[in-house]
Structure 1
Amino acid sequence: MNFSLQELKPKHIRVAGVLFLFGSLFGFFGFPRILHGQIASQLTLKQGSEMRAIWSKIPDPFSFRIYVFNVTNPMDVQRGGRPILTEAGPYFYEEFKEKINVTDHRNNDTVSFNPRDTWYFSMRKSEGLTGNEMLTIPHPALLATALTTERERPAALKILNKAIPAIFGNPASMFLTTSARNILFDGIPIYCNVTDFSSKAVCSEIKKRKDKFQQLDENIYGFSFFGMRNGTAGERFQVKRGIENIKELGQVVQFKGEKKLTIWSGDKCNNFMGTDSTIFPPFLTPNDTIAAFTPEICRSIAAYYTGSITYKGIKAYKYSADFGDASRDPDLTCFCTTPDTCFKKGLHDLTNCVGAPIVASLPHFYLADREYQTGVVGLNPTKEKHEILSIFEPMTSTPLLAHRRLQLSIALHKVDAIDLMQEVPTVIFPILWIDEGFELSEKLLSKVHVIYTAILTMNVLKWIMMALGVSLSAGSLWFRKKQTDVQSSDFPGITRKVQDVTSLEDQSRY
């Protein structure tokens, strides 16, 4: 507006008022509403949309780092000693995530799919490791078979004890020394090409679960932690598309055709909470939780707001998660296998989930009860390396950075009927841990920057318009007051002239 203060008129006051009202009403109400509508329309899983394409096949790989705990004193542990561990890793894999067999269900605004994860080893990013390093770990297949048999069919333990030499390669202890590659993906052999009665009886049970193993040769199966999942379709999900209600975006409504799990002892543990972890509803506030259902551990986990940060120039929220304390929290006790076998803080029993006494926790038992941290030698839990961390842009709920960290251990104790387990200690024995990381690419980050810049620009403009409106109004009022004051200062002279005229008129009458 190109005028001086002396030129301010009532119409300028009206203009100032319009500026103030427009800045406040549009800045605080109109723009956010328009922006929310635009964001919501862009984020739905509508067929043919850009978001649907990214969600169906995430364009950039995740970083998948695996660390294996190498046992340095296996024979001491075999005789009841305390395990001493060293950490080998990272074994770095690029993990590509996609969804296959995608089907829309318009009647309830959902879409169903099978997730498929594919891993490729990167020697360059593995810090000199090749995957051929020989490592010693508790024999996962042997111990899982023994401990599961003890729990489900204790009368069959003697048969298993006789079969162990033939099936597991005549082991001298409960430990296995093999390459990292075999442990992680290629497979540890289980020999079911046997003829003796005991071995055939055990192998008949193994064959009933052959979908859990790799086929290495005829009647030779392989056990690995990730080999069976590599490049294969996972169990089927059904999630909300968010078209009818954006706050339901990605919410899991079915898994394996069921509306809830049946493996835990209570609805709170069996109900699906959150998304499948690849998309989240927008418009986060610090009071919101970020929840996701993870099939590998048969449960949902909620992450909680821990603070605000600026990440690469974008205001963002930090979230963190842990396993809680099922032994004390009444909402988590339904995860316990039995009321008498509930682990203390920081552990999640996967026995009902995977059919073996495997235990999930944060790496190095971070945030877990000290009993587990001191049960073995060689752990060093730290927040920076071992917490579950996510950083989100709150308007779009875009994950800018994430680290999903998980440790797998085995709940070890002696079994008198098994020769190799008669003296072993009772301990939660760490085997390996993973760090599944994600950082938004610069290409996708630039799209978030566009939205963030629009928000910042509008925030600045609304205050400028409101400040200008207030300034113009104040200036107009001040100038009008000055004019009034000037006119008032002339009133005495005018009054005297009027009185003089009146006096003359009166005199002329006489």
Structure 2
Amino acid sequence: MKASVRLIFGGVLLFTSTILLGFVAFQGLVELAVKDQTALRKNNEIRGIYLKIPFPLNFKIFLFNVTNPMDVQNGAIPILDQVGPYYYDEYKEKINVVDNDAQDTLQYDSYDTYIFNKTLSGKLSDEDYVTIIHPLLVGLVNTVTAVSPALLSIVNQAIPHIFKEPKSIYLTDKVKNIVFDGMELNCQGGNFASKAICTQLKTQIPGIKESGTQKNILLYSLLGNRNATIVDTIKIMRGIKNNKDLGRVLEVNGKSKLDIWGSEECNRFKGTDGWIIPPLLKPEEGIHTYSPQMCKNVVLDYIKDDVIKGIKVRRYEGNLGDQQTVEADKCYCPSPKPCSKKGLFDLSKCIGAPIIVSLPHFLYADESLLKQVEGLKPVKEDHVMTVSIEPLTSAPLNVRIRIQMNLNIEPNQKISIMNNLTTALHPIFWLEDSLDLEGPLFKKISSIFVILGIAHILKWVILVISFGVSGFGFYLYFKNRKSIKITPIHQRPETEEEAFRRSTNELLSQIKKVEKSGHTNNIMSGHEFDRYN
């Protein structure tokens, strides 16, 4: 009975413990561990990865080569031929890190380095020549037209000298010069107009630098100001005190908010810096980030559940909104100019240059834009902005951040080289920052789910065992209750007299057996024996 009770009690205790720990408290314990390990606390592994990604990202750039530049000068529609991708290894690092334990904040300077990857680029080389719309020439004219149209005559006088007697609004140069190394601008001597414009270019245009070999020869590139330089100083929340605050942007370059948009809502920083996402997000919350390059909050909405390399993920997608119809986007309208068309965003107020951004090939943008140029073919999977995260940890397994740079062109009677242009939003290039998590980091994340899967199976196994132990205990209990216990009978020990009689009787019995068998006793006859009987 005692053994059966012990089995019943043990089984019930095992069952209760499994329910409490394996079913009630298990998820909470897992979430608590995730919150602890994803916070940017000192010596946390995730912090080290956040401050310096231990592998290069794939940075791709696609240039729009123009095949009919001189026809465009006479009013023809630009015909574009996409060239690329040119691959670069992008190393991302955060330096000059400062922690504030009281505020639970971390401040850093973002520092990126780009190195051309010949292997991934295949037959393409950064020595290739391409013909693209001249971003500085057209950008200069567009800026002066918008801000100080009275100065257009000075710009017209300066263009031949600075841009070396251009025949069109296009330039032909090596990819490496266009992207990072720099296209030459002539600021040697010249007339008053060219000197005045060169002075303004040196002080106002990001990415312009002096040539190291020739005096007063300036170099301008599309992305040179981003390579091996400190781009922004950003302060974020570490998420130690509140995991929902992880990565939330507090300040950018010393400012706690912007002052360039039409409402407090659009001037306020919302979301993370884009390089870390709070764990345990609900699908309807979306992914909110702030982009310093666009001075804009960007939202990626949940689209669907998916599977990447055997791990369940949530897929999110983003776009540039619609300032003309979506109320929340109207505060980004570049006043006093009218709101941009659907799928476009004007960077004039952000970077001081008249760049219009869109998704590649005008995906999700106003359909009229595709009629202004030839050669674009928007394809969702190739051109959409998307992030796929693991829901528990919010670790990104797949990232595709894509953006296209464009310039407006139109006839301008005060600029000789632009007298007969067509009107169009002209693409320059588009780029992609991409990540496919693999290697040790992917193995670490996948191992978490192997362990969780084993734990999930194990709790059911233990539950079944607890039922078995209790059941066996009850079986023994009821079996013992129905059985009859018989007390064994113990025989009394013989006395000496009883032992002597028993021995004598046994001896007489043996003698009689011998006589019956016909054997003659030679020691004494029967009469002799009878005398002693």
TM-score of the aligned structures, taking structure 2 as reference length? 0.85
Asked if the contact 1:324–1:346 (Cα under 8 Å) also holds between the matched residues in 2, the reply is yes
Asked if the contact 1:240–1:249 (Cα under 8 Å) also holds between the matched residues in 2, the reply is yes
1:364 aligns with 2:364: no
Q: Deviations over 1:190-229 (max 9, x none)?
A: 2222231111222222122255312224222221111121
How big is the shift at 1:467? 4.9
Match of 1:78 in 2: 73
Instruction: Find 2:234's aligned residue among 221, 237, 248.
Output: 237
Matched ranges for 1:34-45 at <5 A: 34-45=29-40
Match of 1:460 in 2: 457
Q: Which moved more, 1:14-23 or 1:384-393?
A: 14-23
Give secondary structure in 1 for the equivalent of 2:77: coil
Match of 2:317 in 1: 320
Instruction: Find 2:88's aligned residue among 93, 101, 107.
Output: 93
Instruction: Find 2:42's aligned residue among 35, 41, 47.
Output: 47
**Which amino acid in the other structure matches residue 195 of structure 2?**
K
Instruction: Find 2:254's aligned residue among 247, 252, 257.
Output: 257
**Which amino acid in the other structure matches residue 165 of structure 1?**
P
Following the alignment from structure 2 to structure 1, what is the Cα–Cα distance between the partners of residues 193 and 219? 20
How big is the shift at 1:454? 2.4
* TM-aligned CA distance change 1:78 to 1:46, over 3 Å: same
Match of 2:340 in 1: 343
* TM-aligned CA distance change 1:32 to 1:139, over 3 Å: same
Match of 1:65 in 2: 60
Matched ranges for 1:264-279 at <5 A: 264-279=261-276
**Considering only CA atoms, is the larger Rg found in Structure 1 or Structure 2?**
2
How big is the shift at 1:471? 7.0
Match of 1:411 in 2: 408
1:401 aligns with 2:398: yes
1:299 aligns with 2:296: yes
**Which amino acid in the other structure matches residue 157 of structure 1?**
L
Q: Deviations over 1:271-310 (max 9, x none)?
A: 1121111111111232231122121111121112112222
Match of 1:503 in 2: none
Match of 1:155 in 2: 150
Following the alignment from structure 1 to structure 2, what is the Cα–Cα distance between the partners of residues 131 and 9? 81
Q: Deviations over 1:418-473 (max 9, x none)?
A: 11112212211111011111122311112112321222222223333445556777
Asked if the contact 1:90–1:127 (Cα under 8 Å) also holds between the matched residues in 2, the reply is no
Q: Which moved more, 1:147-156 or 1:259-268?
A: 259-268
**Which amino acid in the other structure matches residue 435 of structure 1?**
E
Following the alignment from structure 1 to structure 2, what is the Cα–Cα distance between the partners of residues 185 and 55? 26
**Which amino acid in the other structure matches residue 117 of structure 1?**
D
1:423 aligns with 2:420: yes
Match of 2:491 in 1: none
Following the alignment from structure 1 to structure 2, what is the Cα–Cα distance between the partners of residues 474 and 425? 87
How big is the shift at 1:153? 0.7
Give secondary structure in 2 for the equivalent of 1:296: coil
Instruction: Find 2:287's aligned residue among 282, 286, 290.
Output: 290
How big is the shift at 1:412? 1.9
Give secondary structure in 2 for the equivalent of 1:89: strand
Q: Deviations over 1:382-424 (max 9, x none)?
A: 1221111212111111111111111111122222211111221
**Which amino acid in the other structure matches residue 76 of structure 1?**
D
* TM-aligned CA distance change 1:349 to 1:473, over 3 Å: farther
Asked if the contact 1:214–1:227 (Cα under 8 Å) also holds between the matched residues in 2, the reply is no
**Which amino acid in the other structure matches residue 255 of structure 1?**
V
Q: Which moved more, 1:267-276 or 1:455-464?
A: 455-464
Following the alignment from structure 2 to structure 1, what is the Cα–Cα distance between the partners of residues 304 and 454? 24
How big is the shift at 1:479? 10
Matched ranges for 1:109-124 at <5 A: 109-124=104-119
Give secondary structure in 1 for the equivalent of 2:262: coil
How big is the shift at 1:260? 1.0
Instruction: Find 2:98's aligned residue among 79, 96, 103.
Output: 103
Following the alignment from structure 2 to structure 1, what is the Cα–Cα distance between the partners of residues 3 and 422? 90
Match of 1:500 in 2: none
How big is the shift at 1:320? 1.2
Give secondary structure in 1 for the equivalent of 2:328: coil
Following the alignment from structure 1 to structure 2, what is the Cα–Cα distance between the partners of residues 415 and 101? 47
**Which amino acid in the other structure matches residue 377 of structure 2?**
N
Give secondary structure in 2 for the equivalent of 1:331: helix
Instruction: Find 1:166's aligned residue among 123, 147, 161.
Output: 161
Identity %: 37
Give secondary structure in 2 for the equivalent of 1:169: coil
Match of 1:439 in 2: 436
Asked if the contact 1:60–1:441 (Cα under 8 Å) also holds between the matched residues in 2, the reply is no
Give secondary structure in 2 for the equivalent of 1:278: coil
Asked if the contact 2:207–2:224 (Cα under 8 Å) also holds between the matched residues in 1, the reply is no
Asked if the contact 1:136–1:177 (Cα under 8 Å) also holds between the matched residues in 2, the reply is yes
How big is the shift at 1:117? 0.6
Match of 1:497 in 2: none
Q: Deviations over 1:100-127 (max 9, x none)?
A: 1111112211011110110000112112
* TM-aligned CA distance change 1:270 to 1:470, over 3 Å: farther
Q: Deviations over 1:461-508 (max 9, x none)?
A: 333344555677789889999999x99xxxxxxxxxxxxxxxxxxxxx
1:31 aligns with 2:62: no
**Which amino acid in the other structure matches residue 119 of structure 1?**
Y
1:140 aligns with 2:135: yes
How big is the shift at 1:344? 2.0
How big is the shift at 1:375? 2.0
Task: Name structure 2 gaps, 5 residues minimum.
Answer: 484-533
**Which amino acid in the other structure matches residue 424 of structure 1?**
L
Match of 2:502 in 1: none
TM-score of the aligned structures, taking structure 1 as reference length? 0.88
Asked if the contact 1:166–1:194 (Cα under 8 Å) also holds between the matched residues in 2, the reply is no
Following the alignment from structure 2 to structure 1, what is the Cα–Cα distance between the partners of residues 64 and 83? 6
Q: Deviations over 1:291-342 (max 9, x none)?
A: 2212111112111211222222222211111111111111111111127521
Give secondary structure in 2 for the equivalent of 1:170: coil
1:354 aligns with 2:317: no
* TM-aligned CA distance change 1:222 to 1:20, over 3 Å: same
Asked if the contact 2:359–2:383 (Cα under 8 Å) also holds between the matched residues in 1, the reply is yes
Asked if the contact 2:398–2:434 (Cα under 8 Å) also holds between the matched residues in 1, the reply is yes
Following the alignment from structure 2 to structure 1, what is the Cα–Cα distance between the partners of residues 334 and 273? 25
Q: Which moved more, 1:139-148 or 1:375-384?
A: 375-384
Give secondary structure in 1 for the equivalent of 2:166: coil
**Which amino acid in the other structure matches residue 185 of structure 1?**
F
CA-based RMSD = 2.5
**Which amino acid in the other structure matches residue 21 of structure 1?**
T
Q: Which moved more, 1:158-167 or 1:29-38?
A: 29-38
